[in-house]
């Protein structure tokens, strides 16, 4: 078999992973068994944080645990689990990134591998529904002799850390904090809206995409994206949750204005952005003032939108700058607590860059 034919026969489709319980259920329905790989423990420097995960299907990979050699090795392990239906459903594996994998970050990572079967669709659907109803949950998965028991409960408000692994005499338990992305309401399915939707699919944002023109929406959407074909987009503003981020970029400047006015009237949003030039911004602000909108509310309208004041007119370039600005509106992730069996209490641990630095200093 030629190299090209071999590559084609073993091709892998890389996709974004936003809402993993929903994505896992969809993958099971479409392809059959899949494996979820979770970063359970990090000591020292690593490509991704605890809680990062990816789904491995027969011919698709959703999400990433950081790429590079670690992800390549994890992919092989996941595929071995897929090819061995009699193997235990879950396992924990430790990787020393520097000495074992030759990665410069040099830390130690423990990965949780768990195979899902079609029988898991029901609880994944239940988890998806509970997550969207409650906004944040703690999922507990307990691994004992290759079998996994799961339950979930409401996440504590002060719960720090997306994943914590604890070891017990009879097994290990992975606790994960699951949360829906911050709500983003995007008005307009034009070129910039299309480009932005593809970027947002890989960010911790939950997109509601509104336009009256159904034919503009792409046929394939990320699992966490909701399309709303609305004859009256203005009427949908009141349906957005408190704390939503709004972006206005429709094909109609009058509709843009009315949307901005309705958004500013709410005063419970996290961000309001309007695509346009400085002259458009000045005209809108002047008109808002004439229409009686308070100055402090007008000041909350961001226009032009996007970081870096990019001069590029390419839709994708504009979308990148807007996405960067949206990221600045998101809260910082909680600081990672050290793993319970971190370097100080693990005499066999020699692989992370922090330990190497300590040895050099001594």
**237 and 88 share a domain?**
no
Structure tokens at 169: 């005499």
358 within some domain? no
- β-partners of residue 118 are none
Instruction: Provide the pLDDT for residue 207.
Output: 94
- β-partners of residue 178 are 137
359 within some domain? no
Question: What torsion, rounded to 10 degrees, do the Cα atoms 49, 129, 246, 214 define?
Answer: 120
Burial pattern 185-202, b for ≥16 Cβ within 10 A else e, equals: bbbbbbebbbbbbbbbbe
**317 and 208 share a domain?**
yes
**116 and 175 share a domain?**
yes
132 within some domain? yes
334 within some domain? no
335 within some domain? no
User: Domain count of the chain?
Assistant: 2
Coil/strand/helix, residue 22? helix
Instruction: Provide the pLDDT for residue 257.
Output: 98
Q: Is the dihedral of CA 192, 198, 199, 201 positive or negative?
A: positive
Coil/strand/helix, residue 84? coil
Instruction: Provide the pLDDT for residue 342.
Output: 46
**Alpha helices in the chain, H assignment, sequence order:** 3-9, 20-31, 68-83, 121-134, 191-200, 253-266, 278-290, 295-298, 315-328, 353-361
| Inter-residue contact 263 to 217 (CB < 8 Å) | no
Tens of pLDDT, residues 120-133 = 999 999 999 998 88
Tens of pLDDT, residues 192-243 = 999 999 999 888 899 999 999 999 999 877 667 899 999 999 999 999 999 9
pLDDT under 50: residue ranges of the chain: 1-10, 336, 338-362
Bond into 304 cis (ω within 30): yes
64 within some domain? yes
**265 and 319 share a domain?**
yes
**16 and 164 share a domain?**
yes
**84 and 105 share a domain?**
yes
Which domain does 209 fall in, by range?
182-328
**212 and 322 share a domain?**
yes
**314 and 214 share a domain?**
yes
Instruction: Provide the pLDDT for residue 86.
Output: 84
Give me the phi and psi of 97, to 5 degrees please: -65, -35
Instruction: Provide the pLDDT for residue 293.
Output: 97
Instruction: Provide the pLDDT for residue 310.
Output: 61
Question: The whole model's pTM is what?
Answer: 0.76
**287 and 187 share a domain?**
yes
| Inter-residue contact 68 to 103 (CB < 8 Å) | yes
**123 and 237 share a domain?**
no
**226 and 306 share a domain?**
yes
Instruction: Provide the pLDDT for residue 235.
Output: 97
Chain-centre distance for alpha carbon 288: 36
Taking the C-alpha atoms of residue 209 and residue 228, their distance in angstroms, rounded to an integer, is 6
Instruction: Provide the pLDDT for residue 333.
Output: 60
46 within some domain? yes
CATH, residue 204 = 3.40.50.720
**34 and 171 share a domain?**
yes
- Find tokens 């359970």 and name the residue: 40
| Inter-residue contact 207 to 218 (CB < 8 Å) | no
336 within some domain? no
* DSSP state letter for 154: E
């Amino acid at each position: 078999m030629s190299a090209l034919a071999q590559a084609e026969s073993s091709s892998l489709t890389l996709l974004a992973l936003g809402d993993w319980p929903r994505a896992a259920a969809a993958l099971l329905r479409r392809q059959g068994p899949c494996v979820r790989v979770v970063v359970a423990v990090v000591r020292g420097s690593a490509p991704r944080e605890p809680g990062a995960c990816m789904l491995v299907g027969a011919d698709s990979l959703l999400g990433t645990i950081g790429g590079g050699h670690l992800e390549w090795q994890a992919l092989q392990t996941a595929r071995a689990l897929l090819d061995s239906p009699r193997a235990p459903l879950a396992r924990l594996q430790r990787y020393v990134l520097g000495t074992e994998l030759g990665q410069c970050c040099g830390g130690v990572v423990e990965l949780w591998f768990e195979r899902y079967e079609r029988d898991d669709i029901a609880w994944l659907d239940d988890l998806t529904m509970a997550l969207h109803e409650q906004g944040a949950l703690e999922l507990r998965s307990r691994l004992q002799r290759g079998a996994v028991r799961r339950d979930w409960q409401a996440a504590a408000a002060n719960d720090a850390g997306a994943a914590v692994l604890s070891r017990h005499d009879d097994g290990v338990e992975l606790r994960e904090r699951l949360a829906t992305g911050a709500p983003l309401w995007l008005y307009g399915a034009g070129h910039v809206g299309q480009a932005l939707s593809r970027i947002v699919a890989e960010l911790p944002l939950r997109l509601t995409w509104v336009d009256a023109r159904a034919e503009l929406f792409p046929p394939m959407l990320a699992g966490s994206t909701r399309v709303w074909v609305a004859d009256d987009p203005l009427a949908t503003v009141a349906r957005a949750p408190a704390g939503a981020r709004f972006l206005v970029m429709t094909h109609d400047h009058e509709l843009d204005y009315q949307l901005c006015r309705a958004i500013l009237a709410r005063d419970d949003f996290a961000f309001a952005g309007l695509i346009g030039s400085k002259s458009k911004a000045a005209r809108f602000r002047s008109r808002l003032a004439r229409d009686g909108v308070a100055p402090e509310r007008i000041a909350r309208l961001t226009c032009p939108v996007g970081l870096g004041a990019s001069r590029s007119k390419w839709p994708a370039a504009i979308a990148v700058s807007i996405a960067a600005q949206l990221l600045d509106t998101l809260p910082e992730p909680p600081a990672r607590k050290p793993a319970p069996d971190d370097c100080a209490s693990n005499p066999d641990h020699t692989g992370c860059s922090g330990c190497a630095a300590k040895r050099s200093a001594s």
